[in-house]
């Protein structure tokens, strides 16, 4: 007989959500986290979208350590001299708060405590060395030579899942499946943040950027999120172009981003509190590993459940929802006393009708668009030149819009035919 019904490896949003679901359903759960306390190994800053937590923590919007709700959403291109932005604000964001800025050090600790309150046993500062196997089935975990047994193991290790990789359950990260994320957190007074972003109360700003001014065809995106009295800012860098360049470093890109003339004023006078880096899962639907097998399930970034279509970055909501679905599957498997691969395939059936998988399916091939010269070079240059010719007064005779666009396309070296073809492909993917 196993010591636990379930062992969860990793107390991030995916792992803790799974532990909460299973413990609330009566399972004997061990939640193992290498950080002490939970969240200390995670990078602060991000937007928690959606309301997936409601099913396991009904009062989460009141009790969770949320920073600000997203009232203003900006998506923009940054060239060397310009910012071309879609700046969207609506009262609907106030009425239906679906996105909140969070600090992972606080959120992860909160979720781990909720798992404890639900009945899970939380052990921190412990690194799982490997999975315990018997007759081709996962039967627990091994730590410093000691085996702890369970009926099922939930792997919630993040985008670089060492235990899952060493067990052969999924491939190592590569340049096509992960990007490098670098984040900083700046301390600023709450009233200063409100003034700079034109915010009131607990309203917040979320900005995502295409960084179009980097040399040597290195592609990267940026983000900036307001918290109560801090700002989370960072970059996500395409590894293929970074490695091909071989000269540019991730910290160079971070410095160029925060010093950009339309980013630096937001951070002026701020005190740098944190600087961290980690992998960001970028693989598409085809790169997803099989997230279940004999005695195990994978959730969150370990299973590849994050998403970006160039306009929005999401991960925590998929982590939470996949953790909950894995927890449901474990509860059902316990009732059947069957944790075989066939039994746990119910997890995949639940995933297939969830946004975690449907978004991946519906946006197949999006990475080839997001990380392309069209998005990172051609479109920003075309927009910058066209808008400058339309909006900047030089004293010269005015030109029709069609003339301006044709001249701008010519300056980018792209023919109107090629632009139409590439634009069509872009719209299909996005």
pLDDT band at 72, cuts 50/70/90? very high
Number of domain units in the chain = 3
Do 151 and 274 fall within a single domain? Answer: no
Do 53 and 195 fall within a single domain? Answer: no
Do 203 and 335 fall within a single domain? Answer: no
Say what the pTM is: 0.91
pLDDT value of residue 362 = 86
pLDDT tens figures, 256-281:
999 999 999 999 999 999 888 888 88
* Residue that is last in its domain, among 307, 336, 363: 363
Least confident range of 129-143, 159-173, 278-292: 278-292
Average pLDDT in the 317-327 region?
96
Non-local (6+) Cβ contacts of 18 within 8 A are 8, 154, 156, 299, 323, 324, 326, 327, 330
Residue 255 to residue 124: CA distance in whole angstroms: 34
Tokens of 78: 């940054």
Query: 189 with 197: CB under 8 angstroms?
Result: no
Is residue 96 situated within a structural domain? no
CATH code at 316? 3.50.50.60
Count of positions (residues) in the chain: 430
Average pLDDT in the 140-161 region?
95
DSSP conformational letter for 376: I
Do 191 and 294 fall within a single domain? Answer: no
pLDDT band at 337, cuts 50/70/90? very high
The residue among 359, 363, 357 whose CA lies nearest residue 291 is 357
**Which position has the token pair 């109560």?**
228
Is residue 19 situated within a structural domain? yes
**Whole-number average pLDDT of the chain:** 90
**Which position has the token pair 């532990």?**
19
Do 145 and 209 fall within a single domain? Answer: no
pLDDT tens figures, 297-314:
999 999 999 877 766 778
Do 382 and 418 fall within a single domain? Answer: yes
* Residue that is last in its domain, among 321, 346, 363: 363
Least confident range of 133-147, 284-298, 385-399: 385-399
Least confident range of 86-95, 357-366, 388-397: 388-397
Is residue 73 situated within a structural domain? no
pLDDT at 422 over 90: no
Tokens of 243: 């490695």
* Residue that is last in its domain, among 219, 247, 281: 281
The boundaries of the domain holding residue 204 are 178-281
pLDDT at 321 over 80: yes
Residue 61: CB atoms within 10 A of its CB come to 14
Percentage of residues of the chain with pLDDT beyond 70: 91
Do 149 and 48 fall within a single domain? Answer: yes
pLDDT tens figures, 179-212:
999 999 999 999 999 999 999 999 999 999 999 9
pLDDT value of residue 308 = 76
Residue 19 to residue 25: CA distance in whole angstroms: 10
Is residue 85 situated within a structural domain? no
Do 264 and 185 fall within a single domain? Answer: yes
pLDDT value of residue 364 = 83
SS3 157: coil
Residue 30 to residue 23: CA distance in whole angstroms: 9
């Amino acid at each position: 007989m196993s010591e636990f019904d379930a062992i969860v490896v990793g107390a991030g949003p995916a792992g803790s959500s799974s532990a909460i679901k299973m413990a609330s359903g009566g399972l004997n759960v061990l939640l193992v986290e290498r950080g002490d306390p939970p969240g200390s190994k995670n990078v602060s800053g991000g937007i928690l979208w959606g309301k997936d937590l409601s099913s396991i923590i009904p009062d989460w919007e009141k009790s969770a350590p949320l920073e600000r709700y997203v009232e203003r959403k900006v998506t923009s291109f940054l060239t060397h001299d310009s910012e071309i932005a879609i700046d969207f604000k609506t009262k609907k964001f106030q009425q239906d708060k679906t996105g909140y800025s969070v600090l992972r050090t606080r959120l992860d600790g909160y979720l781990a405590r909720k798992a404890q309150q639900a009945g899970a046993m939380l052990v921190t500062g412990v690194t799982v060395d490997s999975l315990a196997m018997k007759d081709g089935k996962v039967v627990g975990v091994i730590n410093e030579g000691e085996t702890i047994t369970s009926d099922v193991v939930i792997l919630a290790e993040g985008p670089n899942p060492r235990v899952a990789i060493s067990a052969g359950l999924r491939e190592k990260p590569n340049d096509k499946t992960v990007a490098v994320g670098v984040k900083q957190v700046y301390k600023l007074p709450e009233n200063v943040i409100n003034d700079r972003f034109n915010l009131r109360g607990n309203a917040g700003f979320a900005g995502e950027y295409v960084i179009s001014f980097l040399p040597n065809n290195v592609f990267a995106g940026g983000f900036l999120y307001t918290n109560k009295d801090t700002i989370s800012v960072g970059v996500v860098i395409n590894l293929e172009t970074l490695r091909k360049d071989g000269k540019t470093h991730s910290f160079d890109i971070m410095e160029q981003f925060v010093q950009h003339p339309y980013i630096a004023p937001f951070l002026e006078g701020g005190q740098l509190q944190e600087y961290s880096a980690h992998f960001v899962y970028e693989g598409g639907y085809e790169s997803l590993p099989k997230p279940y097998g004999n005695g195990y399930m994978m959730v969150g970034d370990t299973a590849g459940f994050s998403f970006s279509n160039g306009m929005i970055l999401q991960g925590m909501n998929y982590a939470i929802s996949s953790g909950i679905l894995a927890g449901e599957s474990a509860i059902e498997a316990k009732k059947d006393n069957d944790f075989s691969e066939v039994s746990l395939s119910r997890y995949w059936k639940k995933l297939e009708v969830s946004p975690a998988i449907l978004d991946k399916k519906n946006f197949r091939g999006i990475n080839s668009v997001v990380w392309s010269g069209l998005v990172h070079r051609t479109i920003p240059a075309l927009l910058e030149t066209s808008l400058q010719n339309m909006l900047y007064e030089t004293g010269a005779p005015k030109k029709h819009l069609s003339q301006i666009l044709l001249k701008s396309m010519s300056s980018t070296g792209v023919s109107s035919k090629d632009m139409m073809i590439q634009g069509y492909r872009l719209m299909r993917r996005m």
